[in-house]
Amino acid sequence: MKSVSLLLALGLGAAVVIGSSCGGNPPPANTTPAIDTAAENARIRDSINAANAEAERQAAAERERIENQRRADSLAALARAGEEVRTTLGAMIHFDLDKSNIRADDMGALDQKVAILQANPDLRIRIGGHCDERGSDEYNLALGNRRAQAAKQYLVSHGIDASRIETQSWGEERPLVDGHDENAWSQNRRDEFEPISGGDNLRRP
């Protein structure tokens, strides 16, 4: 739409230039007084200048608009990336009943967290270990601690400084899913990951 009007403006300008160059070489037989000719030429020149200025102004506006759009798109993409990184960072890992060893299918998720922590050196995180309701209430505090420590040790063994990772255990006190079946239990046996500082504007690894 804008570019169409720009072409129209350029075409109009070209037509004016062509017209004026034609008019700029009057036949000698012309009896029009010289003063009139000079005034007419000035008028035509002004018109051309005005058209050129208008075209230039519109082109500049368009350039600025495009620039703004590009910047906005870029920021949005950046935000999307940050959100994506945050989601990846916060992805939970899960455990087998009464176990605290990292499952093979969760190692990829932990590897991603390693990469995120490496790409964001100011980032510090907290790992919360949780259990299902089947075990003993108090023992689950120890088990939840083991689960949080297991994830921390994995990250530390892959080069992340231990001081960047806090751990805590909630035992079975904060279930993610209410319910008394294996579906709920398997979701509740988990580690949660959350940034505690440096979590804004996360960079993609």
Partner 1 sequence: MRSVICVAALLLAVGPSGRPAAAQDTSAIDRGVRIGIIYRPGVRPGLVMLPRSGMGLDTVRAMIARDLDYSDRFEVITLPGGDSIRLATSSSAPTRGTGTSRSGTRTPATGGAQAGGLNYPLYQALGADFALDITAAGDTTVATLHDIAAASIRRAVRVKLPRPGDADFRQAVHRLADLTLLAALGTPGIAATRILFVREGKVYQIDQDGADQKLVSSTDRQAMSPAWSADGRHFAYMEFQAGKGWLYLQDMANGKRTAVSTTGSALDFTPAFSPDGQTLAFSRATEDGTDLYTINVKTNCCLRRLTVGRFSDNLSPTFSPDGQRIAFVSTRPGLPQIYVMAADGTDQQLFAPFDYGVTGSSNAPEWSPDGQSVAFHRDVAGTLQVFVLDVRTRTVRQLTSVGRNEDPTWAPDSRHLAFVSDRSGYRQLWIIDLDTGRIRPLLQQSGARLPAWSPRLSEAPSTTP
- Contacts to partner 1 by CB under 8 A: 98, 126, 128, 134-139, 141-143, 145-146, 149, 152, 166-171, 173
CB of 150 to partner 1, least distance (A): 11
CB of 63 to partner 1, least distance (A): 53
Closer to partner 1 by Cβ: residue 25 or 157: 157
Contact predicate 184/175, CB 8 Å: yes
Contact predicate 170/129, CB 8 Å: yes
**CA distance linking residue 94 with residue 187, whole number of Å:** 7
Closer to partner 1 by Cβ: residue 111 or 173: 173
Q: Helices marked H in 24-106 — which ranges?
A: 34-90
Q: CA Rg, the chain, in Å?
A: 35
Sheet with 93-94, edge to edge strand ranges:
93-94, 190-197, 124-130, 165-171
Closer to partner 1 by Cβ: residue 138 or 200: 138
Closer to partner 1 by Cβ: residue 51 or 160: 160
CB of 68 to partner 1, least distance (A): 44
Beta-strand ranges (E) seen in the chain are 93-94, 124-130, 165-171, 190-197
CB of 152 to partner 1, least distance (A): 8
Closer to partner 1 by Cβ: residue 82 or 170: 170
CB of 110 to partner 1, least distance (A): 17
**CA distance linking residue 107 with residue 113, whole number of Å:** 10
